[in-house]
Amino acid sequence: MYRFLPNVLTRFLLRRFFGSFFLVTLTVCGIIFAVTFVERLSSNPDAITTLFDAWTRLLEYIPMFLPLAVFMGTLVVSYNLTKSSEMIIISGAGLSPYQITKPFLIGAFLIGTVAATVLNPYSVNLTTRNLTEHQLKLIDDSVWLREASDNGFLTVRATNINVSGDKNIIFNNVNIFLQNKNFQLQERISAQQATLSYDGLYIPNANAINSDGVTTKTTKHIHTKLTPQTVLDRYLKPDQISFWKLPGFIRKMNAIGVMTRGHMVQFWTLLFLPLTMMAMVILGMAFAQTKQRRNYSFGLKFSLGILTCFALYFITNLFNALGTTGVLPPILAIVAPQIIIIAGACMFITSFDTI
């Protein structure tokens, strides 16, 4: 009997926690979705397209407010349990604030795990279906590609890049330099447009200048190991790669000498997302602690908690920036703010009534 009762209590607290979390999440999602739908209605041909556009944009906002939703859900469930005297009964059964928090931590861990392993890949898959140059991380607003082979070197520079419906890459205002093994220029090709497919690089209406300075107007087809996917991988932003593909992507980019600090920060952010959710639960419990059923001052605690979350949001972004620029190791930039939050919140919980 002794072993069964904690399981019942855990399920009860988990159910109440998930109920409050989903209530807060659905409310925030509904507001964002409605505002986005109305905003995008004029720029889409029909309501169905607008609904899909609003849904895609909503998925981009979810990672930003998910920790806040967990914090607000923790405050709401604690307030409801205190108001109905259920928290007093649970405390009277001999459970400390830390023991009461355990089911909430389990729920937060599950939320963070699902968000990183399921929601993130689904969101990335939707948002990267039709990429343009405005969604890619270009260097000096230009596309630079270089390939080495047994025959020499191929260098491509273009002003922008687009992905066609058949997943081919279209370069605009492109210049291509062909060099031999000794880096001597053999041919320079310029064109308004070039298409990269899995069959190679196709350049219609190209101006080709050979090593003797002779210019010819021709259509070029260059066989290359470059593919549309490798080009996209080179310029994808960290949040455009799913959690499951990030480790392999980072290894591949490191092998060709591409900077991956931003991608490392993104990977550790997703990997430690359950820890972030758990930190927000502990912070929420710190603000929710009280010995009184009446005069709970829920509005004051809720307002101060939201302000604290916004402050922590900027601090977390600051640490992320330090990790991206290399000032801090990426893993430390992600874990340090969460450890600080947990340590500070536990100190508040120890004092029992903090505000």
Tokens (6 digits) for 352 = 């029992």
Average pLDDT, the chain: 79
What is the percentage of the chain residues whose pLDDT exceeds 90?
A: 10
Place of tokens 């399921």: 118
Convert the pLDDT of each residue in 323-353 to its tens digit.
888 888 888 888 888 888 888 888 777 765 4
Lookup: tokens for 120: 């993130």
The pLDDT value recorded for residue 164 is: 65
pLDDT band for 130, please (50, 70, 90 cuts). low
CB atoms within 10 A of CB 228: 18
pLDDT over 60 (residue 3): no
Separation CA 16–CA 82 (nearest Å): 12
With 0.85 as the threshold, say if the pTM is over it. Answer: no
Q: What is the DSSP string of 265-320?
A: HHHHHHHTHHHHHHHHHHHHHHHH--S-SSS--HHHHHHHHHHHHHHHHHHHHHHH
pLDDT of residue 113: 94
Where is pLDDT greater, at 111 or 4?
A: 111
Q: What percent of the chain has pLDDT over 70?
A: 85
Higher-pLDDT residue of 86 and 33 is: 33
- In this model, does residue 132 exceed pLDDT 70? no
Contacts of 337 (CB under 8 A, 6+ apart): 312, 315, 316, 319
Of the ranges 64-68, 185-189, 249-253, which one carries the lowest mean pLDDT score? 249-253
Q: Average pLDDT of 200-225? A: 81
In the predicted model, what is the mean pLDDT of residues 290-300? 58
What is the predicted pLDDT for the residue at 347? 78
In the structure encoding, which two tokens stand for residue 32, read together? Answer: 């964002």
**Average pLDDT of the segment spanning 187-204:** 84
pLDDT band, very low/low/confident/very high, at 273 (cuts 50, 70, 90)? very high
Average pLDDT of 220-238? 74
Distance separating alpha carbons of residues 161 and 142, to the nearest angstrom: 9
Confidence of residue 117 (pLDDT cuts 50, 70, 90): very high
88 against 111, higher pLDDT: 111
Higher-scoring residue by pLDDT: 131, 84 = 84
Q: Kindly provide the b/e burial profile for residues 161-171, where b requires at least 16 CB atoms within 10 angstroms of the residue's own CB.
A: bbbeeeebbbb
pLDDT at 5: 42
336 closest CA partner among 265, 288, 281: 265
User: Residue 277: what pLDDT?
Assistant: 92
Average pLDDT for residues 165-175, to the nearest whole number?
A: 77
Where residue 154 falls among pLDDT bands split at 50, 70, 90? confident
Mean pLDDT, residues 79-83 taken together: 80
pLDDT at 311 over 50: yes
What pLDDT is attached to residue 166? 61
φ, ψ dihedrals at 268, nearest 5°: -70, -30
Cα 285–chain centre separation: 26
Mean pLDDT in residue range 239-257: 78
Least confident of 91-95, 99-103, 167-171: 91-95
Q: What is the pLDDT of residue 1?
A: 38
- CA-CA-CA-CA torsion sign (21, 26, 27, 33): positive
